[in-house]
Chain A
Amino acid sequence: MSKVLILAEHDQAGLNPSTAKCVSCAAELGADAIDVVVFAADASGAAGAAAGLEHVSRVITVERAENSSPLAAIIAPQLATLGADYDYVLGPSTTFGKDVLPRAAALAGVGQISDIMAVENPQRFQRPIYAGNAIITVTAPDNAKIFATVRVASYRAAGESGSAAPIESASVDAELPTHTRYVELQSGSGDRPDLQTARRVVSGGRGVGSEDNFKVIFNLADRLGAGVGASRAAVDAGYVPNDMQVGQTGKIIAPDLYMAFGISGAIQHLTGIKDAGTIVAVNKDADAPIFEVADIGLVGDLFEIIPALERALGD
Chain B
Amino acid sequence: MKILVCLKRVVDYNVRIRVKPDGSGVVTDGVKMSINPFDEIALEEALRIRERGDAEEVIALSIGPEDCQQQLRTGLAMGADRAILVTAEAAVEPLAAARVMLKLIEREGTDLVILGKQAIDDDCNQTGQMLAALWNRPQATFASKLELADGRATVTREVDAGLEVIDVELPAVITTDLRLNEPRYVKLPDIMKAKKKPLETLAIADLQVDVTPGVQVETYEPPPTRAKGIMVDSVEALVSAMRDKGLLG
Contact surface of A with B, Cβ cutoff 8 Å: 11, 71-73, 76, 94-96, 98-107, 110-115, 124, 128-141, 144, 177, 179-189, 196, 200, 224, 232, 235-236, 241-243, 248-249, 251, 256-257, 267-268, 274, 277-280, 291, 293-299, 305, 308-309, 312-313
CB atoms of B242 and A296 under 8 A apart: yes
**Given known A-B contacts A111-B93, A111-B215, A242-B179, A135 and B220 have beta carbons under 8 A apart:** yes
CB atoms of B162 and A185 under 8 A apart: yes
Query: Which residues of chain A are near B242, meaning CB under 8 Å?
Result: 257, 278, 280, 296
**Given known A-B contacts A102-B130, A110-B214, A256-B247, A183 and B235 have beta carbons under 8 A apart:** no
Contact surface of B with A, Cβ cutoff 8 Å: 11, 13, 16-17, 19, 26, 93-95, 98, 117-118, 120-127, 129-134, 136-139, 141-142, 144, 154, 157-169, 172, 177-179, 213-223, 226-227, 229-239, 241-242, 245, 247-248
Query: Which residues of chain B are near A280, meaning CB under 8 Å?
Result: 238, 242
Nearest residue (CB) in B for A307 is: B235
A295-B245 Cα distance, complex, nearest whole Å: 11
CB atoms of B138 and A134 under 8 A apart: no
A295-B217 Cα distance, complex, nearest whole Å: 33
Q: Which of A144, A179, A189, A295 contacts B137 (CB 8 A)?
A: A179
Q: Is the interface of B mostly helix, strand, loop or mixed?
A: mixed
Nearest residue (CB) in A for B130 is: A106
14 A-B pairs in the complex with CB atoms less than 8 angstroms apart: A73-B132, A94-B160, A96-B160, A106-B131, A111-B215, A131-B17, A137-B217, A141-B216, A232-B178, A249-B117, A267-B16, A279-B229, A297-B231, A313-B239
A296-B197 Cα distance, complex, nearest whole Å: 54
16 additional contacts, CB 8 Å, given A99-B141, A249-B178, A280-B242? Answer: A95-B160, A103-B132, A106-B134, A112-B130, A128-B223, A133-B17, A136-B220, A185-B165, A187-B161, A188-B161, A236-B178, A248-B123, A295-B227, A296-B242, A298-B237, A313-B248
Query: Which residues of chain A are near B234, meaning CB under 8 Å?
Result: 298
Query: Which residues of chain A are near B124, meaning CB under 8 Å?
Result: 112, 114
A277-B222 Cα distance, complex, nearest whole Å: 20
Nearest residue (CB) in A for B169 is: A179
CB atoms of B179 and A236 under 8 A apart: yes
A67-B165 Cα distance, complex, nearest whole Å: 16
Nearest residue (CB) in A for B95 is: A111
A313-B169 Cα distance, complex, nearest whole Å: 55
A267-B120 Cα distance, complex, nearest whole Å: 12
Q: How far is the CB of B182 from chain A (nearest CB, A)?
A: 9
Nearest residue (CB) in B for A242 is: B158
A187-B163 Cα distance, complex, nearest whole Å: 6
**Given known A-B contacts A130-B26, A135-B221, A296-B230, A98 and B141 have beta carbons under 8 A apart:** yes
Q: Which of A106, A138, A294 contacts B98 (CB 8 A)?
A: A106
CB atoms of B219 and A134 under 8 A apart: no
> Interface centre among A11, A136, A267, by most B CB within 10 Å?
A136
> Interface centre among A185, A189, A256, by most B CB within 10 Å?
A185
Q: How far is the CB of A111 from chain B (nearest CB, A)?
A: 3
Q: How far is the CB of B151 from chain A (nearest CB, A)?
A: 11
Query: Which residues of chain B are near A248, meaning CB under 8 Å?
Result: 120, 123
CB atoms of B236 and A130 under 8 A apart: no
Query: Which residues of chain B are near A242, meaning CB under 8 Å?
Result: 144, 158, 162-163, 179
Query: Which residues of chain A are near B168, meaning CB under 8 Å?
Result: 179-181
Q: Which of A107, A131, A141, A295 contacts B120 (CB 8 A)?
A: A131
> Interface centre among B168, B215, B230, by most A CB within 10 Å?
B215
